[in-house]
A and B are shown apart, each in its own frame.
Chain A
């Protein structure tokens, strides 16, 4: 009989006797190999019958090695059919696979089995259901079998990763099969904390990210690519190349950095900005304590586990590259007034304020006159002062007296300067990646090289990066393996401050349109002059950074060794970390074109370097008993040490600004320098137990004890977690529900820690000096200082670990043979002893206050992911996946007696936009709620009279600054008047949910993919409106709204309030809801159309794969938000979502190729 078994596939019922195998039978050993390496091994049962072998599978590093050893004593060999699939056959002398000797076989049938692309599949099990008759296909996908010859004969083909098929044979002698790829990913190996698990055995909340989808997003950063790809992960980015996005796993866990812990090839790090996305082989997000708390002290923000690629098989070379253009949004993106309109607005505002709008720039008439020249003020052609011969500007001045003698002549740009498009230009983006890899019994290797260059659409911003990687492993003996994973990166990334009205984009938003970029002689023009505001020329700002350079290099990786011993034990040691350094220099040119010019010149240079190492030692015991109990125990230690230094300085006053001249020693003026250093250490013990019974009942427990140098009196912390899972689909009573392929419920509880935000000096009362703050000119020299010291840090030696108490319940389902799968989690996190540095009462002075374990926070939410994988026909395949992430964050406590802290005052001088308050999510917007306009003077007096009456105070009034056309605020506390107590929460930038939808269609050789990402329920504080919709907000460039849709007696149904010269508490003097907008959006992050040349067409050239594609990133965005881009980044967790000149995500069009040979 040609009985046959294919392990690993649940679709083949076990043969009798398989449940209680002899532990040393070859069959059992093969099963263990399947388990350990997640491979499928096909063989005819007669080949292994009665064969016994002595082999420790755990000692083998590769399936090839294990098979080689297992089969060596016999007349058997194996063939690798494709990745993860092996077939055991007799050595060549043996009979053909179709050889038969069974008396019951009556009629031969043969055929081929191919995949949808027409490629033959080897190793496919073909059998007659209900009998023990079966065979496997050979390397050409051909099978031959003899069927009993009954009229109802059927053939069933099964193959891992493909959907099983069953057909009636009838009287055919030739039956061909085309297998559809199945989506069952249950056996996928997932790298989790210090170990690997099969996806079906996971009991913690782990999001496994599809790397192919991840890599479609054309960016240099894996974290940016993660947006929308993993449920439970919220990513908010920016359009600036290299700008680190905000990344949060399951809400907000602390007031400081919410950066997750990244574990790259087993090495923990907080920074993966320089990781080449092409090198990523797998990425898992460990979301709950069950999955993550093995990382203890650093797990609270979630853990992202990444493994990088390694080689296998024969040597192959992959090239992946793309080139594209990034296009800034077209049109009048800021809705800016042209020069005439801007002047008219002045007339309107002054008239509304009862003031005289006359000004040298625009004359003394009833209406403004747009001058020919803005410098000299209001200059007209022919005016003597506009005579070019009088012009004198020396942009390279080094002498204040020289500057004082400038005679600027600047022609008015009557058409209006489009400052947005002066600073934002189309820009290229390109990436080239080459990887060479291969492997065999004795080891494997991968070498990759990546060049990435994204020019920013904003002048003189870019990210240029070179990365090389070398991953190798050597199998020294059967029991000893060593290897290394190393990556080196070089990064240049000049950037601007974003969302600041004082950086280039902010100034582009503020600079008036009448100002040209250049004056009559090609030097910069600016706000110098009357009625031109006080913004700076943003083109000049960026142009002056052109010679500023910087370079960061980093070596990151590890070396490791593994030894197997005593059959079930494996010891692994890994020593890894990083060595990094960076330098940058910049020159500050004197300004002359603006109203407020910094007239000094200086050169600054700085460098930093540091290293950290992590030494991890683990011992793993893994044994399976009676094929029912699977027990894995892991224990380990980990030590972490980090040291860093920085040094730099600034020198003033350079003889010339030729970029070849300045360095720190060639300046003639004041020299200042600085240096700093820091170090910390962590030492940890960890343990983990995973147990499963009959693959149905799964229990896992982890514990970690961490010690940190940052703590004095409470140095050590314990972080336990326990999880359990129940695979209902394995229960007998579920077997009849054939549409359920897999169903698992799981739950867990645990504690994660955090100490990320704690400074290394937190425990100490420290003193020192700072020239600007503690030195004093005691001797009255006017130019010198005597050293003085003061308190620099108030210490809290009692600080201890934050604990993030974490509960999770989840459900994983795979239905209709894997056609539909989904995963659902509900979690709740209570963060206790949250380390926060609450402001101390003023009596404590201004030395840095220490972190204390005082605050509390809560998050809860759902993660949901779903996939639908459908093969409609041979040619058409559809793959749809979606993720949904929600979190609801609530601050439970800030400090004793203190229930809020504020942030972000912008130009509100002392009033803040953001309040972090108990009962609210972090970064909530706070201010007055607008309740319409005061439409008549009588409305104001009526309101005031009412208050005067009620309070019996003749000086009482209803609302400060109330007046016609101004905002009427809502009396939130109902006390009959508007006071600061009426300020209320106006929304917050935390989304109710974010979602990602990925739709992939394969038709013949074409592949089409669209990825949509959206957020819902988040608000944006659009402070651009503050600058542009209110005349009184400095004389900056104003919007059409200010001129055409502001309140007038004949236009009461307006958007903006009455335009006035002076600000008021009742217009823009205090934060109010005018600036708050719905920030929801849906964006086509990526649309790709690819074409793969048919296999074989290029085989003569030894090309395995050739695919070309075109791609559009950020193709369209659907939003009600009125600003440029609703994706508002910002790194400060307690203060984000404020748009004040964002660096927008631009549309990108790319063309790329994937080539393998």
Chain B
């Protein structure tokens, strides 16, 4: 009697056995996709590790963009001060953000591993079906590891066979970070590229070409340009989206940042966000960007992620429509620092790359369909973090009913984060070609990107009536846009170094505020000079990064102290800290 009385099955939950079938393993795979955003929700917009949602945003706005000089943290300096420590490179290993980022990626990996573990025992699937599931799971695992690798360099590798799923063996989780995991990441993407179909039923799934592109990117990060080049060429020439549409650039640059036009031919692989999806919160609604809206305007939060003057100046073009590759800060774009919003202000009337106003909200220019950016009134602390607002992550007013998610104190939205954009592929290919000495091909790829930018169809236009921003736009450009492709032979004429400089600069412009800049600078070996140059310039404009200083150790973030402490086995930490921390 007492024995059965004490036998209680867990309620409202499943055990492994129930999932070991086709349906179960598919559902687990979707769970592995769901970790892409890193987010959870419990009324306070937290991430999967329990910390703040913004600490782990998969677009790496903190670790990639702000740390790379694209933007300021924003808001008041003491608001989420941990970010300021990270982006001024003062953060030590006990900064909780690193731990969150680490844990959330490993959660993604755990989900992939469990999917693969269950898959091995599933009976009601063909080998071919299993290979697709395995391909997707390994693609996702490759992604999570790539993120860890970029952030922390040496991280431990755990796969589906490393741990028990029946018994808690804590030592299973205490693995050393003593090896370079790029080869394993390559192997995952290679498997995915070899086994995934070109098209899939759901647009959100990875396909063969997403895997090929990511594999190429993995190689690029190791400066294996020669190996990456044919893969990228293959993507450019043969690649299609999961829906079978051939990759290409959208005419409208902003189509990449609007939930209405996303999952287009430029999206090689996207993290899918959804708003008002019945989850009750903003956990699937770009929650990592929840702070990054203008302050005191129509958005409830919070004035973070303010583009830097250095970035804005980079969009200055010369009379040939080309950027100032070296001395852009000698041609600064006029700003409204210290100008009250009640005092008149005329925006800069010099030549500008039109992508600026799809990347940066600045005073006097239409801020999507929300009206002219009013300047100081929308800025939380101009002296600290400058006069600008982030824009690529902001939803449109016209479709806010669908794509804005007001289920929390900070906005959510449905704008996907495009992890690999076709423009990125073109610029990666350009980089490979330039490194291989094919400067003309490199130039052609760069110019594809610039030609799209130069197409007036995609420019920001003046409102018909600024008081009625949704009332439509005139054909009048919002600023003095002037952008051109590099004249034929410019790369060849300038030489390989010039070509690489131009390609890198194009990445800065095209992919600004998309979380790549810091990692690009590190892989190019330019982080120290470029970021300290940035600090020296930018601190003449704002006060927040005055103490910023990048030293050699900072090319990787510190292994979270908490993880080092948790990896102690027989008195020794299995995880070794990165040099200099």
Contact = CB atoms under 8 A, between A and B. Distances in A.
Interface of A: 353, 355-356, 358, 360, 400, 403-404, 528-530, 595-600, 639, 641, 650, 652, 669-672, 675-683, 707-709, 715, 760-761, 764-798, 839-847, 850, 852, 895-900, 905, 907-911, 955, 960-961, 979-980, 1032-1035, 1061-1063, 1065, 1068-1069
Contacts of A767: 13-16, 19, 28
Given A788-B28, A1032-B78, A400 B406 contact: yes
A596 B6 contact: no
Given A771-B283, A780-B272, A783-B275, A595 B296 contact: yes
B281 A782 contact: no
B277 A777 contact: yes
Contact of B13 (A768, A852, A910): A768
A768 B12 contact: yes
A905 B96 contact: yes
Contacts of A908: 81
Interface in B258-280: 259, 262-263, 270, 272-280
B526 interface: no
Across chains A and B, which 5 residue pairs bring their CB atoms closest together, nearest first? A910-B96, A897-B568, A772-B283, A788-B30, A845-B110
Interface in B1-41: 2, 5-8, 10-16, 19, 24, 27-36, 39-41
Contacts of A528: 296
A789 B273 contact: no
Nearest to B370: A404
Given A766-B14, A783-B402, A789-B31, 13 more contacts: A765-B165, A770-B40, A772-B279, A783-B414, A787-B30, A788-B28, A842-B99, A845-B109, A845-B111, A955-B549, A955-B551, A980-B94, A1063-B78
B487 to A, nearest CB: 39
A977 to B, nearest CB: 13
A1069 B81 contact: yes
Interface in B393-445: 400, 402-404, 406-410, 414, 416
A774 B325 CA distance: 44
A380 to B, nearest CB: 12
A783 B31 CA distance: 17
A200 B284 CA distance: 66
Nearest to B406: A600
A1068 B571 contact: no
B93 to A, nearest CB: 8
Nearest to A772: B283
Contacts of B90: 960, 1065
Nearest to B341: A360
Interface stretch (B167-175, B344-352, B475-483): B167-175
A841 B566 contact: yes
Contact of A1034 (B12, B78, B273): B78
A764 B10 contact: yes
A780 B241 CA distance: 13
B278 A785 contact: yes
Interface stretch (B179-187, B199-207, B247-255): B199-207
B78 A680 contact: no
Contact of A782 (B49, B166, B403): B403
A595 B380 CA distance: 10
Contact of B40 (A773, A787, A840, A1061): A773
Given A782-B414, A842-B103, A773 B41 contact: yes
B81 A1063 contact: yes
Contacts of A770: 40
Given A771-B278, A843-B173, A1035-B76, A596 B283 contact: no
B330 interface: no
B205 A778 contact: yes
A358 B343 CA distance: 14
B77 A1061 contact: yes
B543 interface: yes
Contacts of A356: 338, 383
B106 A843 contact: yes
A847 B111 CA distance: 10
A896 B301 contact: no
A595 B300 CA distance: 7
A771 B566 contact: no
A1072 B83 CA distance: 19
Contacts of B96: 905, 909-911
Contacts of B295: 595
A683 to B, nearest CB: 4
Contact of B107 (A641, A797, A846): A846
Interface size class of B (residues with CB under 8 A): 35 or more
A792 B165 CA distance: 12
A783 B103 contact: no
Nearest to A353: B543
Interface in B117-156: 156
A677 B28 contact: no
A771 to B, nearest CB: 4
5 contacts: A530-B296, A670-B407, A843-B109, A845-B109, A897-B571
B342 interface: yes
B31 A778 contact: no
Contacts of B167: 795, 797-798
Contacts of A709: 5-8
Contacts of A1033: 78
A597 B300 contact: yes
Nearest to A781: B274
A1050 B520 CA distance: 49
Of listed A670, A770, A783, A846, residue having the most chain B CB within 10 A = A846
Contacts of A773: 34, 39-41, 48, 283
A530 B382 CA distance: 12
A1034 B79 contact: yes
A909 B81 contact: yes
A708 B51 CA distance: 34
Contacts of A353: 543
Contacts of B377: 530
B168 A796 contact: yes
A766 B8 contact: no
A761 B13 contact: yes
B340 to A, nearest CB: 5
A672 B14 CA distance: 22
A795 B203 contact: no
Given A760-B10, A780-B272, A774 B34 contact: yes
Given A776-B34, A844-B110, A1032-B78, A785 B284 contact: yes
Contacts of A404: 298
B14 A780 contact: no
B92 interface: yes
B342 A360 contact: yes
A898 B35 contact: no
Of listed A652, A709, A778, residue having the most chain B CB within 10 A = A778
B308 interface: no
Given A683-B5, A780-B202, A791 B78 contact: no
A678 B9 CA distance: 10
Contact of B204 (A595, A778, A794, A846): A778
Contacts of B103: 842, 845-846
A768 B406 contact: no
Nearest to B270: A780
Contacts of B204: 776-780
B79 A681 contact: no
B48 A910 contact: no
A18 B121 CA distance: 83
Nearest to B340: A360
A794 B275 CA distance: 30
B284 A772 contact: yes
A846 B168 contact: no
Interface in B472-498: none
Contacts of B560: 842
Contacts of A1034: 76, 78-79
A599 B300 contact: yes
A677 B11 CA distance: 7
A596 B302 contact: yes
Given A782-B402, A789-B27, A955-B551, A670 B6 contact: no
